[in-house]
Structure 1
């Protein structure tokens, strides 16, 4: 492995955070009461997605569209920055220390997340270009969110595709990956060194 590029790939939700950030972001951006009421009304759909009976990415897109379709891109970006600024307590300190150590050591650091860049990236703004966020991207037309996703939901095999899209020559680097769920299984399997549910002690 000597001489190979070092790449560290961190899942975000559950790995670097104490809980899922999507619902937390929804409650930040929209009234919590409104979010809870909508989710309760659509509980059968969400349960089907959880059980694998309905595509999770499609269910997530429906939730996203309800709350954000038509939102101005600038407003969405600013909402994501405000969310990160006010929710540092979501982060697992040991995980953030690991990210910082990887940056300090000169590794290429990726945050690979099914959540969206607009609210994930601001958590790592202090690292500048040293940390790249690979995430589910919203579709934007004429400066506004359409409510659809511009990319596949970044989980499972899609995480592997996105990493290989950035670094296709797999033999040229050593990959260390961190994850906590079945959505990270493929990314952990492709890694030279895998850490499952780290940073929890």
Structure 2
């Protein structure tokens, strides 16, 4: 039996939202909380559905990352993967990932967070990543998302576009929010908030 394992990232594998943790990583505490206070109206509009989650996320990233050279940004992402990310990975989730790897199971992280700060960590474990991609213009991060935010149905679109599902006898998926439901529905075995 050939198995495919699909994992959401934020909240499923991690204890905290990596977007906010990455923003802290590139900012001093004073600057971080100042920018967060500026974003309060944006968060409010998102909660009331007057602003799309994708647009709200772009405004957040434009404020924290917009204008950074892609080379510098990726260096910061690499440091984040080495220094901060291991501290917020759920221990039970890491054990599950390692067990799949020991069994030579094809394992993917499918995430709404940008691939830049997931891939350096995931690739060390031999895990592939399908996630949100960031727009780059003139070798600088704009803060905008390239295409669609990898959440809800877009997760399934990415999976089907990059993986030949007919090769697998069994699909197992892990998630923790409504944004993961389409991916969970794709699987034979579903795990909702399994490591919490």
Q: Give the count of matched residue pairs.
A: 194
- Alignment of 1:14 with 2:8, yes or no, is no
Following the alignment from structure 1 to structure 2, what is the Cα–Cα distance between the partners of residues 146 and 20? Answer: 21
Aligned counterpart for 1:138 among listed residues 134, 141, 147: 134
What's the TM-score, normalizing by structure 1?
A: 0.90
Could you say what the CA RMSD is over the residues aligned between the two structures, in angstroms? 1.5
Tell me, in whole angstroms, the C-alpha distance in 2 between the residues paired with 1:73 and 1:135.
17
Residue segments in structure 1 that go unaligned for 5+ positions in a row: none
* Structure 1 position 7, deviation (Å): 1.0
CA distance in 2, matches of 1:106, 1:170: 17
1:76-114: per-residue Cα shift (whole Å, max 9, x none)?
A: 111011112111110001101111111111111111111
CA distance in 2, matches of 1:51, 1:95: 32
Once the two structures are TM-superposed, the CA of residue 50 in structure 1 deviates from its matched residue by 2.7
Alpha-carbon distance in 2 for matches of 1:44, 1:24: 20
SS in 1 for 2:13: coil
For the pair 1:164 / 2:153, whether they are aligned, the reply is: no
On the 8 A contact 2:62/2:144 being kept in 1, the answer is yes
C-alpha change, 1:24 and 1:191, in structure 2 (3 Å) is: same
Distance of 1:186 and 1:43 partners within structure 2: 29
Shift of 1:126: 2.1
The aligned counterpart of 2:76 is 79
Moved over 4 A (4+): none
Equivalence for 1:185: 181
Alpha-carbon spacing, 1:126–1:171, altered in 2? closer, same or farther (3 Å): closer
| Alignment-derived partner of residue 122 in structure 1 | 120
Q: Secondary structure at the match of 2:118?
A: helix
Once the two structures are TM-superposed, the CA of residue 12 in structure 1 deviates from its matched residue by 0.6
TM-score, length of structure 2 as denominator length: 0.93
Matching residue within 98, 107, 114 for 2:96: 98
CA distance in 2 between partners of 1:17 and 1:96 (Å): 9
Q: Verify the 8 A CA contact 2:5 2:172 in the aligned structure 1.
A: yes
Q: Pick closer, same or farther for the CA change 1:51–1:190 going to 2, 3 Å.
A: farther
> Partners in 2 of 1:182 and 1:50 — Cα distance?
14
Q: Take 1:190 and 1:164, find their aligned partners in 2: how far apart are those partners?
A: 10
1:51 offset after TM fit, Å?
A: 3.6
Displacement, 1:52?
A: 2.8
